[in-house]
Amino acid sequence: MPNRRDFLRALIAAPAGASLLFSQTPAPAPIKATKLSDRLAVLMGDGGNVAVVISDDGLMMVDGGLAERSADLLQAASTQVDSHPFRMVFNTHWHLDHVGCNETLGKSGAKIIAHVNSKKWLSQKVTMEALNRVIEPLKPEGLPTQTFTKGGKLTFGKESIEYGVVPPAHTDGDAYLFFPGPNVLHTGDLLFNGTYPFIDYSTGGWIGGMASACDTLLKVGDAQTRIIPGHGPMGTKTDLQASRDMLTAVHDRFETMRKQGKTAQDVAAAAPTKDFDDRFSKGAKPDQFLQIAYTGLLRHYVPSAVAAQQ
């Protein structure tokens, strides 16, 4: 699908923190599986991190990597995790590095579950203003067949799963999943472990919501909970706390600058993240993270303020 390939190439080439939407390089990394329990595994190396839930007669996928690597992802799952077919897909949000297997698995009959807003964005053309890109809708077979607006519980095989939603944060349709048995939390892109996050203000995301989402996630599980982030290595509650503290501090600094009438360019030049850059700038240039995140904050309060600065 040319538009998606163009989008991927733009993200690879872009120096912005937005490139974190796809943890991808021109030479694709190998996809590697790690078993977290007898019934749960994580696959890393293809877009966003992917969880696989194993039952006696089928598999459940949490997020689905990039469409361009869907065959690689499904092959890795079959050879490294379990060879049963996928029966269910759960999308934590709508971004293309998390829904890449939707069309293939939807066509084969898998049930696809997502927040109602994620289905909305997947069903239409979306302009991502931070990237100046237009994203085409998925084919009908790739769209969620079951939606939700609040948290709930489900069982897949012998695995009990709790899922929750948060107010607009990374997007306006973010969900997370908790697996009480193995004590594992899948955050989707509510956590970019060890890097500044991409915040998609075109579909409702903003930094205040990201900080608040971390507060919610910190209450899930306990201190020993293992975390599958949307991007980055497996994490801990300590990693989540560090991200929360950074986001909260940056949000508070933004608020002061917003009240002073500062522009996104002013904020980037002021370098208000310099005390966090050593830890979080490995995947995103601070000035570009600042411009995107501050623009998202302005959009949250005054939608017209974004257009005025573009």
The CATH number linked to 27 is 3.60.15.10
Side chain identity, residue 245: D
Number of CB atoms found within 10 A of residue 127's CB: 11
Tokens of 63: 């997020």
Q: Given this model, what pLDDT does residue 238 score?
A: 98
Instruction: Kindly list the distances between the CA atom of residue 188 and the CA atoms of 213, 262, 283, in Å, as whole numbers in the listed order.
Output: 11, 31, 17
Token digits of residue 141: 């077979």
pLDDT value of position 303 = 62
Asked if 189 and 166 touch (Cβ cutoff 8 Å), the reply is no
Q: Token match 């507060």: residue?
A: 215
Please tell me the distance from the alpha carbon of residue 151 to that of residue 189, in angstroms, as a whole number: 17
The pLDDT profile of the chain, 310 residues, written as one tens digit per residue, is 334 344 334 343 333 333 444 434 456 789 999 999 999 999 999 889 999 999 999 999 999 999 999 999 999 999 999 999 999 999 999 999 999 999 999 999 999 999 999 999 999 999 999 988 999 999 999 999 999 999 999 999 999 999 999 999 999 999 999 999 999 999 999 999 999 999 999 999 999 999 999 999 999 999 999 999 999 999 999 999 999 999 999 999 999 999 999 999 999 999 999 999 999 998 778 999 999 999 999 999 876 544 444 4
Domain that holds residue 16: 2-309
Provide the token pair at 128: 């991502």
Residues 210, 199: Cα–Cα separation, whole Å: 8
- Give the predicted TM-score (pTM) of the model: 0.89
Q: DSSP alpha helices (H): ranges in the chain?
A: 2-13, 70-80, 102-107, 116-122, 207-218, 237-259, 264-270, 277-280, 286-301, 303-309
Is the distance from CB of 86 to CB of 116 less than 8 angstroms?
no
Q: Which one-letter amino acid corresponds to residue 259?
A: K
20 and 284 Cβ atoms separated by less than 8 Å: yes
Please provide the size of the chain in residues: 310
What are the Cα distances from residue 7, in Å, to 68, 70, 142, 197, 225?
11, 16, 18, 18, 35
pLDDT of residue 26: 53
Joined together, the tokens standing for residue 67 give 């469409």
Cα 43 from chain centre = 15
pLDDT of residue 22: 40
Is the sign of the CA dihedral 94, 98, 100, 101 positive or negative?
Answer: negative
- Per the listing, tokens 């991502």 go with 128
- Position 71 scores a pLDDT of 95
Whose tokens are 């069982």? That residue is 155
Q: What is the per-residue pLDDT for 287?
A: 92
Specify the pLDDT at position 283.
74
| Beta-strand pair 50-54/59-62 | antiparallel
Q: How many structural domains are present in the chain?
A: 1
pLDDT at res. 131: 86
